[in-house]
Amino acid sequence: MAEVINMPRLSDTMEEGTVASWLKKVGDKVEEGDILAEIETDKATMEFESFNEGTLLHIGLQEGETAKVDSLLAIIGEEGEDISALISGGSASAVAEEAPAEAPVAEASAPAASAEVPEGVIVVTMPRLSDTMEEGTVATWLKKVGDEVEEGDILAEIETDKATMEFESFQSGNLLYIGLEEGESAKVDSLLAIIGPAGTDVSAVASGFGSAPAAAAPAKTEEPKAAAPKAEAPKAAPAPKAAAPVATPKVSSDGGRLFVSPLAKKMAEEKGFNIADIPGSGENGRIVKRDVENFTPKAAALAAAAGVSTPASEESFVEIKNSNMRKAIAKNLAKSKFTAPHYYLNVEFDMDNAIAFRKEVNAIPDTKVSFNDIVVKACAMALKLHPQVNSQWFDDRMKLNNHVHIGVAVAVEDGLLVPVVKFADQRKLTQIGAAVKEYAIKAKTKKLSLEEMEGSTFTISNLGMFGIDTFTSIINQPNSAILSVGAIVQKPVVKDGEIVVGNTMKLCLAADHRTIDGATGAQFLQTLKGFIENPISMLL
């Protein structure tokens, strides 16, 4: 069955997009993960990949044309399939209703139709807050049913595959209906909320919205009201909705009342913290997100969370629900590992000069440079001399990048984030160090923006600070290579025919054989060796 592809929301403030270029044309075969087009948003020009397989049957916007989010962008289906009805329908909501009901019924019940939606009422759907996001989880609602909403107000915090992000309203009115409770997940474009004039009955709109989780099964006539009590909540029982837990009272260790935000409660549970041990900085001592992020648990609490108190000979386990980020990491790494023909080149560099160089640089007041900063700078300069390594692979072409944007892998609780140091070859060592430090802090507090995680042409993963001397990494596609950096180790080495104490560091380049031949990878590492073993050369 043909799938309608709408203009995605590729940033949290995006209202419309412009097709910069199509990478597929009508009649082309499309695989899941193929880049369909480059979309210019309010922040950047981003690649938009397909989540469907089939043949590109229709293009709704030509290159250079602009349309609102959720406008018809393309249609993918089986070759020769009749899509005339979909083209005339022009929206995903109409298509969603056509599948379970006859066309006349679908047209009558589609929530997007102006005749069915009361005047002034706006249906808010789950936004696509990252270019790879397929579903989102409501971490917390910052508004409750009945609240006034102004344009620009933060409605909710949405957990995507990359981060937990604030989602702001683009409309003003009253929050009439909430389609997903805190902790619930749904696909992009599912019903999230309804905003409109106070007192408006939106139960029919909610129950008729085909992608709302509660109303997904009964898609035809009067049955949704009985089968989907959530859709009736704003009309029949507004009080429970209005009382959605903005603060959850609990009891502290001294018997007093404890106030906790839903997001803080969820984060504390995930980390295994006793919520009563966390001091609150919000109103009336309310425990909020930042309190959990800044809390350092006692050793006893950590031991209990780790299950140390479990009696001997008793089996025990903890199940942790996979976050959207963890699921996205699993999908992307599996795709990279099983589609890109990886090969690995291992080298060991003499770090004596780099150690002396860093010591001299850090002796300058207000200056701090790490060995990782030196590696980033050296890679950036080597990549300028070896553009083949600074390349990206696509099914129909290979892109050799003249700019150098280096992704620096940062470990966070839910997995791995890769903020990007843009134009790294043009930055000073101190500027690279400041950028990496800032990104690391943002990554750990989930404050990285999409723009700060996009556009890498090469990636560096450093586990040296954990004492790992050598390891291999999986390529961060569509990049062609990733460099694994180990710890600096002091050991006996041979210099000028004598055994002396030296400092060495092992690195491993994982490369995609489709774009980088073995000799090319080796030449890149030789150039990199020259910069790292003689870092003064990077300043000349």
Catalytic residues: 513, 517
Round to whole Å and give the CA distance between 209 and 123: 9
Computed on alpha carbons and rounded to an integer, the radius of gyration of the chain in Å comes to 27
Which two tokens mark 117? Answer: 């939606």
Residue 51 amino acid letter: F
Rounded Cα–Cα distance for residues 287 and 230 (Å): 29
Query: Parallel, antiparallel, or unpaired for β 45-49 and 35-40?
Result: antiparallel
Omega of the bond prior to 492 within 30 degrees of 0, cis? no
For 433, the token pair is 């160090």
Alpha-carbon distance 351 to 370, whole Å? 13
Terminal-to-terminal C-alpha distance of the chain: 61
Of 117, 378, 166, 123, whose CA–CA distance to 289 is shortest?
166
Q: List all residues 6 or more positions away from 452 whose beta carbon is below 8 Å from its beta carbon.
A: 419, 420, 439, 442
CA distance 314 to 239: 45
Q: Strand order of the sheet with strand 3-6?
A: 3-6, 72-77, 54-59, 29-30
Sign of CA dihedral 320, 414, 42, 397: negative
